[in-house]
Structure 1
Amino acid sequence: MSPLRSISLWFSAAFLATAWSSPTNNTHCGHDLCTWWHDTGEINQHTPVQPGNVRQSHRYSVQVSIAREKEFFDSFVYESIPRNGNGRIFSPSDPPNSNTLDSSVDDGISIEPSIGLNMAWTQFEYSQDVVLKITTIDGSSLGPPEDVIVRPTSIQYSIALSNDGGIFIQIPFVETGRKFSVEFKNDLYAFQSDGNNYVSSGGDVVGIEPTNALVIFASPFLPSDMVPRMTKETTTTMKPGPIKNGDWGSKPILYFPPGVYYMNENTDGVTGNLGSNHMILDPTTYWVNLAPGAYVQGAIEYTTHAQNFYATGHGILSGEHYVYQANVDEGYTSLKSDSTSLRMWWHNSSQSGQVWFCNGPTLNAPPFNTMDFNGDVYAISSRITDYKQVGAYFFQTDGPEIYPNSIVRDVFWHVNDDALKLYYSGATVTRATIWKCLNDPIIQMGWSSRNISGTTVDTLNVIHTRYRDANMVVPTAIIGGSPFYMSGITPDPNQAISIRVSNLVCEGPCPSLVRITPLQSYRNLELENLAFPDGLLKNPLKIGQSYIPASPGVVMDLKIANWTVGGDHVTMDNFQSDSLGQLNIDVSYWGKWSITP
């Protein structure tokens, strides 16, 4: 019997034979388990949900029980859809699906709405082993346990069939939590590309994803140092419903209790269109706390100069009301600006020595780059833990910036741009799970010549990719280095990047390992323990082919150790572009890089 189908002893025959169900909205919140619910859940796959409502999964119902106990509690299942039901609109004042966005603008979404692609997720807090029960809203069967795939597949779970067509999954408690995708073989969609666009038939398969995705976030309770000491004097407590300018006050802590919140004023203070404002916090406010069950439709900009500032709690920050590239200086319309297009987490006057602590939140449906802090970026850092990102279908919805000496661990990011931006020294990323759309690499090191050292990535699980073509400008690769963002610049061999990536697993049809345009030297670029269990893409599109072109004077000290493709080791005998590794590295670098089993 395979490990996936094995059932732990506590999954007794009596337990499985009993039809466990619970009343609607039966939740529990204690020190052992905390689940939550929204009474304003709206099942709607086509249009924006009503203000004050939350898009609820049209497909899945989830319940959670403490292991060895027999009482299941409801856990609300959220849903995100491409463009959030707005269609291609230019301005937040445009009616949904009025198609006002210029046809020349590619927002990163094409075939997804027509195939009904969506992403559901649920989250709960736990401190003990639990049992998850998944059923369908319409009562249809999810199929047998052997047709269930839990990604990352490197972590295995006990799965069993319930007698009502659902499934049970045992989730052991671990202090780092668990974040995974539950997929069903009868729900998988094969993305095909003709080299330019996704096509419904006749192209090459470039990725496989569930049509109705379901992601589970089992989170440990927040550590005590990530829970603010809230008093009446120190805390502004928000009330669910519309948020008007200034409602967030000027106290040190901004707290969102359970409930649904939405921005309801234009920047001039007049009640107006959703997606026409965001929260610019008072300089005194340095801590945003989102309670479990808080669902905040808006974006947050810090102005504090406090050394440590925070975003904590297992609530949700959602950008679903914003149009693609929402430009704050242009009425939040879809006019791209690297400076003024809205970030969901933002600080435009950061100071030397500041540290951002982000522990717990989930970010849904960002309209542009998800987090940027402007100021002395070489002298700030972040501590990002148990941070999740879902519904990132738009282009340029990347992962957060990873500033010098930052620590990122135990995260799950759905992205449609660079996932891990390794631009600074001394950063560490540990236990990251990435679900990748079509734009840019998983790890990005390019756009400018850089000096980077002491940066590491360990335990990186890439569970989905679906690149449409083989590209060097926005590299279609696990590890990429884009050419210069600005024209008229030449590579600087005297600068160098030194980075170590270890324990990487890429699942499904995988793109190339590396696509790097060298803008500086690479010294001690170490890649160790790499596994592509389902193989590299190998088709006329050449998406699976790595490429490193020549660059005068540049050192390419690349060391690859223990890389397997489909279970076979890539070596110096089979690395070539037409062989197992599909590595196309310019001959000028030969003898200066290596692959060892």
Structure 2
Amino acid sequence: MGKLTSANKIFQSMDRKTRMIILLCFLLGMTNLKAQIITYDVPQEINDTNKFVRPSGEYKVELSLDGQTFVPFVYEMPAMHVTNNSKTTAWCNFSFSGKIQVKVTPLNQKPELINILPKSAGINAIIKNGSAVFTISKPGHYSVEFEEGIYIEHPLFIFANPLEENPPQPNQKDVIYFEPGYHEIGEKYTVPSGKTVYIHGGAFVKGQIYSENSENITIRGRGILSGEEYPPRTADHMIMMRNAENIKIEGITIIHAPRYNITLRGKNHIVSNVKMMGWWFSTDGTSTGDNAIIENCFFKVNDDAVKLYSSNTYVRDCVIWQMENGAPFMISWNGRNDFENCYVSDIDVIRVEHQWDNENLAVICAIHGGEAHISHFLFDNIRISNSNWRIFHLVTRPNRWGKWNPEKGSISDMTFKNITYDGSPRIKNLIMGHDSNHPIYNLTFQNITIDGNIVSSRNQEEYFIIDDENTKNINFKTP
């Protein structure tokens, strides 16, 4: 303690400029000390003969930091459904801090163009000697694209995770630890209250995780949870928690979901930095209970990415690639109990592959056939690109999934602001209450830009169909 006190006195005796220089050098030194890249081994079962997950035949990825080069494994999944537009989906997964260089080399083509999505990340890549080269300085989910258009046949995703904080150790109390390697846990791996399930970045876990009447469960890590070989639309969800409280899911990648990726019933949930990729209809992303946070997640799913079915749901800083079916944000098919206060902000919808006229195909969608009153939603800072469909489809009406009540079921008090749609939609947005007992009212659209044009009360009919009889107080505001 005496030495520290003496050092402090010496530091305080220095002039302000000298102290600032010392502090700056210290901070720079700490930054350099912490800058690192962590890649993960891959189980031998992930090989060229695996029909579900294999080494990519399309891409090689190299990472550079302070003169050191790291080569993360690039996974690849082939398409599973006849309607899928992508023939394969590839990704690599690593954790890092600092500023790193990423080099992506296509193995089957000479690149002529390169785009890094989301655009909001502001990443500019160059093509050099047959590779795309760019730098990243913060964690994120990035799509590296050598093709143009709405439909990309061979996407590559860079899952650049933050460094893990205090990862658990093997044999630690109340930890279920999946070490590097291949694990089969079955279709209903049950986790009791108070446990942490840790999936190491080098672990590949085939199976589904389940819990009921539980609390305080964490599922975390940088590894993979796979639903391969489970029958689509009839198997259970990948992570299913019934009547559960205080569930946290962080960092993992979920692939080949036969149904929902994550379903959390109960309340007080956090889903953070989870990557979800599936091929089948009904491979929804997340459905959570009251008081939930969904943040920094990535979705490439073939049904609704985020279901906003519960009160006090916060969705922020996510990247969504919506496949041919479903909506990035589904508000209701059959809501029975009133719910409110959902907030969605800072979302990049980087691709919407809708191509047929189905009622659930919109970025923000409600086909409300239940008796709930749904109210007080805010969507703010939503960026939509690579789409030619519609943003909004908000209606109340009977449907095959809802239990229709002739006397009630309505939508009100919603604000949609700072939404940018790059492209020309082929279908107009639809806002329509079914009848006087099922109205839609008090909606505000502010600073909605479609194909470079700001929608106002003067030009709304160019972009919107609004039923005046059962749809009241719909307002358009410019910035």
Task: With the length of structure 1 as denominator, give the TM-score of the two structures.
Answer: 0.68
Aligned position for 2:239: 345
AA of the residue aligned to 2:450: V
Aligned position for 1:517: 395
Do residues 283 (structure 1) and 192 (structure 2) align?
yes
Q: 1:407 to 1:136 in 2, by over 3 A?
A: same
Contact 1:522 1:558 survives alignment (8 Å):
no
Determine the C-alpha separation between the residues in 1 that align with 2:471 and 2:237. Answer: 42
Do residues 232 (structure 1) and 232 (structure 2) align?
no
Instruction: Give unmatched runs, 5+ long, in structure 1.
Output: 1-29, 84-108, 191-207, 235-251, 264-276, 326-335
Contact 1:452 1:499 survives alignment (8 Å):
no
Q: CA offset at residue 298 of structure 1?
A: 1.5
Deviations 1:499-527 (Å, cap 9, x if unpaired)? 00000111012322211222633332100
Do residues 381 (structure 1) and 271 (structure 2) align?
no
Determine the C-alpha separation between the residues in 2 that align with 1:233 and 1:116. Answer: 42
Instruction: Give unmatched runs, 5+ long, in structure 2.
Output: 1-33, 398-408
Match of 2:430 among 543, 546, 556: 546
Q: CA offset at residue 550 of structure 1?
A: 3.4
Do residues 592 (structure 1) and 473 (structure 2) align?
yes
Q: 1:347 to 1:550 in 2, by over 3 A?
A: closer
Matches within 5 A, 1:346-425: 346-348=240-242, 350-351=243-244, 354-374=245-265, 377=266, 380-390=267-277, 392-425=278-311
Q: 1:371 to 1:166 in 2, by over 3 A?
A: same
Determine the C-alpha separation between the residues in 2 that align with 1:43 and 1:547. Answer: 49
Deviations 1:411-437 (Å, cap 9, x if unpaired)? 111111111111111111111111111
Aligned position for 1:566: 451
Q: CA offset at residue 182 of structure 1?
A: 0.8
Contact 1:313 1:361 survives alignment (8 Å):
yes
Aligned position for 2:141: 179
Q: 1:213 to 1:355 in 2, by over 3 A?
A: same
Contact 2:63 2:102 survives alignment (8 Å):
yes
Contact 1:437 1:465 survives alignment (8 Å):
yes
Determine the C-alpha separation between the residues in 1 that align with 2:182 and 2:189. Answer: 19
Deviations 1:242-296 (Å, cap 9, x if unpaired)? xxxxxxxxxx211111222235xxxxxxxxxxxxx32423536721101112111
Do residues 64 (structure 1) and 63 (structure 2) align?
yes
Do residues 155 (structure 1) and 94 (structure 2) align?
no
Aligned position for 1:198: none
Aligned position for 1:223: 165
Determine the C-alpha separation between the residues in 2 that align with 1:405 and 1:463. Answer: 27
Aligned position for 1:110: 82
AA of the residue aligned to 1:42: N
Aligned position for 1:10: none
Q: 1:512 to 1:287 in 2, by over 3 A?
A: same
Q: 1:594 to 1:284 in 2, by over 3 A?
A: closer
Determine the C-alpha separation between the residues in 1 that align with 2:422 and 2:324. Answer: 21
Contact 2:298 2:320 survives alignment (8 Å):
yes
Aligned position for 2:423: 534
Aligned position for 2:47: 42
AA of the residue aligned to 1:82: A
Contact 1:119 1:214 survives alignment (8 Å):
yes
Aligned position for 1:272: none
Matches within 5 A, 1:11-22: none
Match of 1:296 among 205, 215, 221: 205
Match of 1:317 among 200, 218, 225: 225
Aligned position for 2:103: 133
Structure 1 range deviating more: 558-567 or 215-224: 215-224
AA of the residue aligned to 2:178: F
Q: 1:284 to 1:529 in 2, by over 3 A?
A: closer
Determine the C-alpha separation between the residues in 1 that align with 2:380 and 2:353. Answer: 23
For residue 469 of structure 2, give the secondary structure of its aligned residue in structure 1.
Answer: helix
Contact 2:327 2:361 survives alignment (8 Å):
yes
Q: CA offset at residue 304 of structure 1?
A: 6.8
For residue 301 of structure 1, give the secondary structure of its aligned residue in structure 2.
Answer: strand
Determine the C-alpha separation between the residues in 2 that align with 1:426 and 1:284. Answer: 24
Do residues 77 (structure 1) and 74 (structure 2) align?
yes
For residue 311 of structure 2, give the secondary structure of its aligned residue in structure 1.
Answer: coil
Structure 1 range deviating more: 403-412 or 509-518: 509-518
Aligned position for 1:470: 357
Q: CA offset at residue 184 of structure 1?
A: 1.0
Determine the C-alpha separation between the residues in 1 that align with 2:193 and 2:374. Answer: 40
Aligned position for 1:453: 340
AA of the residue aligned to 2:238: M
For residue 262 of structure 1, give the secondary structure of its aligned residue in structure 2.
Answer: strand
Deviations 1:333-384 (Å, cap 9, x if unpaired)? xxx3xxxx31111234x34xx111111001011011222245xx3xx22111
**CA RMSD after TM alignment:** 2.3
Deviations 1:135-167 (Å, cap 9, x if unpaired)? 1335x4223xxx21111112211312332x111
Q: 1:233 to 1:294 in 2, by over 3 A?
A: closer
AA of the residue aligned to 1:564: T
Contact 2:114 2:127 survives alignment (8 Å):
no
Determine the C-alpha separation between the residues in 2 that align with 1:149 and 1:256. Answer: 36
Determine the C-alpha separation between the residues in 2 that align with 1:71 and 1:363. Answer: 30
Contact 2:264 2:288 survives alignment (8 Å):
no
For residue 283 of structure 1, give the secondary structure of its aligned residue in structure 2.
Answer: coil
Q: 1:82 to 1:150 in 2, by over 3 A?
A: same
Please identify which structure carries the higher strand content: 2
Contact 2:74 2:90 survives alignment (8 Å):
yes
Deviations 1:65-97 (Å, cap 9, x if unpaired)? 11xx232111011111223xxxxxxxxxxxxxx
AA of the residue aligned to 1:257: E
Task: With the length of structure 2 as denominator, give the TM-score of the two structures.
Answer: 0.84
Determine the C-alpha separation between the residues in 2 that align with 1:278 and 1:449. Answer: 29
Deviations 1:292-323 (Å, cap 9, x if unpaired)? 12111221123573x31011011110111212
Q: 1:284 to 1:154 in 2, by over 3 A?
A: closer
Determine the C-alpha separation between the residues in 2 that align with 1:523 and 1:482. Answer: 14
Aligned position for 1:142: 111
Contact 1:282 1:304 survives alignment (8 Å):
no
Determine the C-alpha separation between the residues in 2 that align with 1:451 and 1:131. Answer: 49
Q: Between the two structures, name the one with larger relative contact order (CA 8 Å, sep ≥ 6).
A: 1
